[in-house]
Structure 1
Amino acid sequence: MAETFGQPKPTLILHFTHIDNLPGILKADRLFSDSSVGPQLATNVGAVEIKARRRERRVPCPPGGFVADYVPFYFAPRSPMMYRIMCDHRDGKPGRYPGGEDPLVYLVSSVERVHAAGLRWVASDGNCAVGLTTFSTELDELSALVDWPLLRAEVWKDIPDDMDRVRRRAAEFLVHREFPLDLLLGYVVRTTERQEQVRRVFRDAGMIEPYGRVRPGWYYGNPRGEVRR
């Protein structure tokens, strides 16, 4: 992948899901939006209050609808949502998904593959649950819409001179309704043990495993030292 100060080409997009959800995803041969996922979602890692806001947040450009009507992808790993999941696990926060990052699998594609396939998509300049966020459906606007240097930064917290960094770090690429798995480039997991588990899921489904990589740097860590087998 060519790295520049601005938008990388190809422009990778990342959707993470719990490994428990993979059998249902493989059976359907696609990812579904939150509003239509149904029983495919065996383990929900999203916060209830955030999902509720996304069901009420309208997308102001075609094809319209609500944010929950789209399959969400991030433009970079180690998102604010992943950080919240890590913190909830570390702190044992009640009422939240307790399992931490380790069971989460990144499914990787690219803006270019989605666009070439003719799927309907919308990009955002930040967290789609926030009213300040703006949207675009124009491919040539992505370079200016998204804060690419911030997406490459290891530290993205708000600072006195810029109190909007966290929102911008959560910029999204939304695919309308569903995302077919034949558009995947591959997947990423945190450990070799988790990669072997993913391979078994693909074998059990009778499917050819896509290109997979172990990249612990795409995760924040497992501070409580608990890894579910």
Structure 2
Amino acid sequence: MHKTIAEAKKFVSLLVNELHDVREFEIVVCPPFTALSEVGEILSGRNIKLGAQNVFYEDQGAFTGEISPLMLKEIGVEYVIIGHSERRHIFKEDDELINRKVKAVLEKGMTPILCVGETLEEREKGLTFCVVEKQVREGFYGLSKEEARKVVIAYEPVWAIGTGRVATPQQAQEAHAFIRKLLSEMYDEETAEAVRILYGGSIKPDNFLGLIVQKDIDGGLVGGASLKESFIELARIMRGVIS
């Protein structure tokens, strides 16, 4: 919940100017609902994609305060974050609700970014893999192989979000490898390789390189560092690794 419409437009214009020639990987920005339409106009025809931070699963109806996938699709949204840890823990969204959102987003031809991850208490109790497996299995419930391949997963250890703490590259890789193996068991190896798995949790320019070079980490779901020019530096680090 950052940036007014004016602030969002100014910042995205800066990103477009600085990152206009990036083609090696995808860059997605997810401003608040109020700024989506005007930011989308700036990004139209550009190499930076437009994403939303949340969605409801119905196209319309008596759901005061919610935003439908149809509304997002109309203004050019291509990606939607679903089940972010703050939605799960502050707003009590459960796996069944999240699964319905994933299906609704896929149905409209957009790409869901499904967030999974454990709390500090769960990690200390040795429950990391149990928690992540439940969230992945229930998030993907009822999806065909073709649908599954279109989903992006973001592993975000809740204890590392906004705390300044970050999972070590080894901890992050271990979780990502577990998710990849789980997907191969749920579907097949081809599907597991096709699904992009992002790391989210206090990503900054000084720790991103160690994370992004890991075998099963395909990118980053960036929080605080996406609100300032450090986001440009992260893109440059990513570009250096790929090229």
Which protein is richer in strand relative to its size? Answer: 1
Q: Same fold (TM over 0.5)?
A: no
Which protein is richer in helix relative to its size? Answer: 2
Structure 2 length-normalised TM: 0.27
Structure 1 length-normalised TM: 0.28
Q: Highest relative contact order (Cα 8 Å, sep 6+), 1 or 2?
A: 1
